[in-house]
A and B are shown apart, each in its own frame.
Chain A
Amino acid sequence: MQHSVSIKDLSLNFGHVKVLQHLDLDIGQGEFIVLLGPSGCGKSTLLNCIAGLLDVSEGQIFIGGKNVTWEQPKDRGIGMVFQSYALYPQMSVERNLSFGLRVSGMKKDEIEKRVSRAAEILQIGPLLQRKPANLSGGQRQRVAIGRALVRDVDVFLFDEPLSNLDAKLRSDLRVEIKRLHQRLKNTMIYVTHDQIEALTLADRIAVMKGGVIQQLDTPHVIYNRPVNLYVAGFIGSPSMNFFEGSLSGGTEPVFTADDGTKIPARNYKFDTVPDSKPMAAVLGVRPEHIVIGDHAKTMTFQAEAEIEIVEPMGSDTLAWTNICGKSVTFRCDSDVLLEAGQKLPVGFDVERGSLFSAETTNRL
């Protein structure tokens, strides 16, 4: 199958600063890709390169099978939505949507058709004659999406489109973008630093750090089988609990925590089975994979732990405790009433956790 967007060995340098390094990325037709990472990781830069707003130093970009590496943004078949909306403030919504088309010399009735279709999809029909100053943040972002929509392109680029909105609007609009994607079935590339947006929207997430894609996979894999310590720590809130220690492989692999606790890792699905020589390793366990009470007794790791702090979140409850000499958080149902100072059995299965080499930080 032909890729909708294909990036081959892309590098971008600002002087001596390497912002993107030998990046490869293939995006399928109609796929929703989220570029996720902290600020400065190069995700927005990558998006600007795809849009043609930045000239690349090396490599090639294909959109719809066409090499567009040196094409103008308007000729790449993309539409883009910005964090600050970037609407033209002196023009009405209708003109904001149609300005680019008018400049390109498109026929009037075609413009009208596209504008009314976009207005219908985004439900901004009643706002068409208003100026951006008289719109709310959410309405403005809809108009900005509409401006990409009227271009009738295959690829939509979103650069942190929801970051300027408050939490309530953000989750509303998130759903709308997902709905839009399901209706239009366009390829969408979406940049964000918000992992909830990434996990909820993406078909595949590309987690980026230092100009390099760390892991590119479905949200489920990214969450459950992070390829390295960085991805494991970045995804998930509260973040994964880490235990430093050593791992001896062979037929009966055992993880030994720094305090001497031995945890059998027999059922753990190793990417590559390590040999029997002990090696420095890190065991990561998600808070929701730590269980308490009777249920803990069936786990490969069991211990008695004292609750230090309890944070009821409404839907569930977070608690802080101490296991193997490490402070850890775990998540349990909000119906379970916990108190600080309470002692109870806790446990987890190593196979639900992740093991990393302390040396390479890669998943074992």
Chain B
Amino acid sequence: MADLSHSRSASAGSAANGSRRLFHNLFVRNFSAKLAATPMIMTVLIVFIGCTAWTIFYSFTNSRSLPSGELVGFDQYTRLFSNRRWNASVLNIMTYGVTSLCFTMVVGFLLAVFMDQKIRFESAFRTVFLYPFALSFIVTGLVWQWIMNPAFGLQAAVQSWGFTSFTFDWLKNRNMVVYALVIAGLWQGTGFVMVLLLAGLRGIDEEIWKAARVDGIPTWKTYIFVVLPMMRGVIVTTLVIVGSGIVRLYDLVVAMTQGGPGISSEVPAKYVYNYMFGAGNLGQGLAASSVMLLTVFIILIPWMLIEFRPKSHS
């Protein structure tokens, strides 16, 4: 602090001195640490920031199969938001996202709590719940496509047992197909959420539980008011993992519904893929992916502002 105010009040003569110090601080100090971090810094600069900038720039061009530098303003975006398939995709991913996020977190947490009750055969249960996560979304999608197929799957089976009025045709139902995706997604991902949250639960000091029991706090209140707040870090990690899985949802849709019936289970990532590679319209695909990126930022920035705001000690 004293240093800073000194250089502020110093005359122009010490400006050169200041820039030398800046150089020193930037490059010479902790040189080996900075050298070691260079590959990662370059990766971030080139792969993440560089490619993002490239994507955004070319979303303002009329690039088709190959990138072109001809700028067309917001044309790609105008077309994007007047496209019925894109708008349906956005709506679908929102429905899927909110439902899937709520259910994976709640069900995953309840399963973790269940596993934390010192039950017998815990590792067997854990394996069973986690097993679907070892399968790709493609396999998951194909399996559930058969289970939910009204002609062969659950509906046909239950009807053949005599319950002829039973219907479960979500895959063919334009209004319910997104929830069919949610079910398959839950089946695949909940075990993983459970394992993450279970690790968080196990990290809670046992004496906290004892203290709560002595205080006479009911178990469910201990979970909600004491344990959950203590698991904040694990929960944020889980939310980020689940959230990124939702945003990039693609393979499950391709395997399970191909976006159908009609366009009623289309998702943004599939739109990006189809227009970039299938339709050879790079500009349109990049505009769509830029919008996806923007959405992620809109969700993340308020959270980051809260999380990383300078902490004040009162």
Query: Interface stretch among A86-94, A204-212, A235-243?
Result: A86-94
Name A324-363 residues within 8 Å CB distance of B: none
A3-11, A76-84, A311-319 - the one binding chain B:
A76-84
B215: chain A residues within 8 A (beta carbon): 74, 99-100, 103, 147, 151
A51 at the interface (CB under 8 A from B): yes
Distance from A230 Cβ to chain B, minimum over Cβ atoms (Å): 29
Contact indicator B216/A80 (Cβ below 8 Å): no
B207 near A: Cβ within 8 Å? yes
Q: With the chains together, A48 CA to B314 CA distance in Å?
A: 37
- The interface residues of chain A lying within 8 Å CB-to-CB of B210 are 48, 51, 53, 73, 80, 82, 86
Knowing A82-B207, A84-B205, A88-B208 are in contact, say whether A99-B225 is a contact too (CB < 8 A): yes
A80 touches B214 (CB 8 A): yes
A90 to B214 alpha-carbon distance, docked (Å):
19
Which of B208, B211, B229, B230 is the most central at the interface, judged by chain A CB atoms within 10 Å of its CB? B211
Given contacts A82-B207, A88-B226, A90-B230, contact A73 B214 (CB under 8 A): yes
Does residue A2 face the partner (Cβ distance < 8 Å to B)? no
Task: Assess whether B221 is interfacial by the CB under 8 Å rule.
Answer: yes
Q: Is A251 an interface residue (CB 8 A)?
A: no
CB distance from A171 to the nearest CB of B (A): 23
Contact B216–A83 (Cβ < 8 Å): no
**B214 touching A79, Cβ below 8 Å:** yes
Q: B248 in the interface, Cβ–Cβ < 8 Å? A: no
Q: What string of 1s and 0s marks CB contacts (under 8 Å) between B6-18 and chain A?
A: 0000000000000
CB distance from B311 to the nearest CB of A (A): 10
With A88-B226, A90-B229 as known contacts, state yes or no: A103 contacts B207, CB within 8 Å.
Answer: no
Say whether B216 contacts A103, CB under 8 Å: yes
Query: Which chain A residue lies CB-closest to B314?
Result: A129
Report chain B residues within 8 Å CB of A100.
Answer: 214-217
- What is the CA–CA distance of A79 and B211 in the complex, to the nearest angstrom? 9
Q: How large is the interface on B (under 10, 10 to 19, 20 to 34, 35 or more residues)?
A: 20 to 34
Task: Kindly state whether residue A67 has any CB partner on chain B within 8 Å.
Answer: no
- Cβ of A136 within 8 Å of any chain B Cβ, yes or no, is no
Assembled-state Cα–Cα distance A51/B232 (Å): 30
Q: Does A72 contact B (CB under 8 A)?
A: yes
- B249 CB to nearest A CB, Å: 33
The minimal Cβ–Cβ distance linking A308 to chain B, given in whole angstroms, is 46
B226 to chain A minimum Cβ distance, whole angstroms, is 5
Q: Using an 8 Å CB-CB cutoff, how does the interface string of A85-116 with B read, 1 for contact, 0 for none?
A: 11111100000000110011000000000000
Interface residues in A, total, Cβ within 8 A:
32
- Pair B229/A53 contact, Cβ less than 8 Å: no
CB <8 Å contact, A83 and B214: no
Whole-angstrom CA separation of A93 from B178 in the bound complex: 47
Most chain B CB atoms below 10 A, which of A78, A85, A90, A129: A90
- Residue A134 interfacial (CB < 8 Å): yes
B207 touches A83 (CB 8 A): yes
Contact A74 B230 (CB under 8 A): no
Residue of A nearest to B218 (CB): A103
Within 8 A of B (CB), among A46-90: 48, 51-53, 72-75, 78-80, 82-90
Question: Contact partner of B211 among A80, A90, A103, A130, CB < 8 A?
Answer: A80
- Which residues of A25-49 have CB atoms within 8 Å of chain B's CB atoms? 48
* Chain B positions 229-283 with a Cβ under 8 Å from a chain A Cβ: 229-230, 232
Complex contacts, A134 vs chain B, CB 8 Å = 313
Query: In this complex, what residue of B is CB-closest to A75?
Result: B216
Q: Least Cβ distance of B224 to chain A in Å?
A: 11
Q: Does B213 contact A (CB under 8 A)?
A: yes
Give the residues in chain B near A48, CB-CB below 8 Å. Answer: 210
Most buried by B among A79, A82, A86, A134: A86
Cβ-closest chain B residue relative to A82: B207
Are the CB atoms of A51 and B314 closer together than 8 Å? no
Q: Mark B185-220, 1 if CB is under 8 A from A, else 0.
A: 000000000000000000001011011111111100
Q: Which residues of B are found within 8 Å of A90, using beta-carbon distances?
A: 226, 229-230, 232
Give CA–CA (A53, B215) in the complex, Å: 12
Contact A147 B216 (CB under 8 A): no
Given A90-B230, A103-B218, A73–B208 Cβ distance below 8 Å? Answer: no
Q: Is the CB of B225 within 8 A of A73?
A: no
With A84-B205, A90-B229 as contacts: A72 and B211 at CB distance below 8 Å? no
Residues on B with C-beta less than 8 A from A74 are: 213-216
What CA separation (Å) do A84 and B221 show in the bound complex? 21
CB distance from B197 to the nearest CB of A (A): 17
The CB with the most chain A CB atoms within 10 A, among B226, B230, B314, is that of B226
Contacting pair A78 B217 (CB below 8 A): no
- Complex contact A78–B214 (CB within 8 A): yes
Chain B contacts with A in 94-129, Cβ cutoff 8 A: none
A249 to B193: give the CA distance in the assembly, Å: 74
| 25 CB < 8 A contacts A-B | A48-B210, A51-B210, A53-B210, A53-B214, A72-B216, A73-B210, A73-B214, A73-B216, A74-B216, A75-B216, A80-B210, A80-B214, A83-B207, A85-B207, A86-B210, A88-B225, A88-B230, A90-B226, A90-B230, A99-B215, A100-B215, A103-B215, A103-B216, A103-B218, A144-B211
Which residue numbers of B lie inside 8 Å of A, CB to CB? Answer: 205, 207-208, 210-218, 221, 225-226, 229-230, 232, 313-314
Further 7 A-B residue pairs, CB within 8 A, beyond A84-B205, A100-B214, A147-B215: A51-B210, A53-B210, A73-B214, A86-B208, A100-B217, A144-B211, A151-B215
Which residues of A does B touch, CB under 8 Å?
Answer: 48, 51-53, 72-75, 78-80, 82-90, 99-100, 103-104, 129-130, 134, 144, 147-148, 151, 159
**4 tightest A-B CB contacts, nearest first:** A74-B216, A100-B215, A90-B229, A86-B207
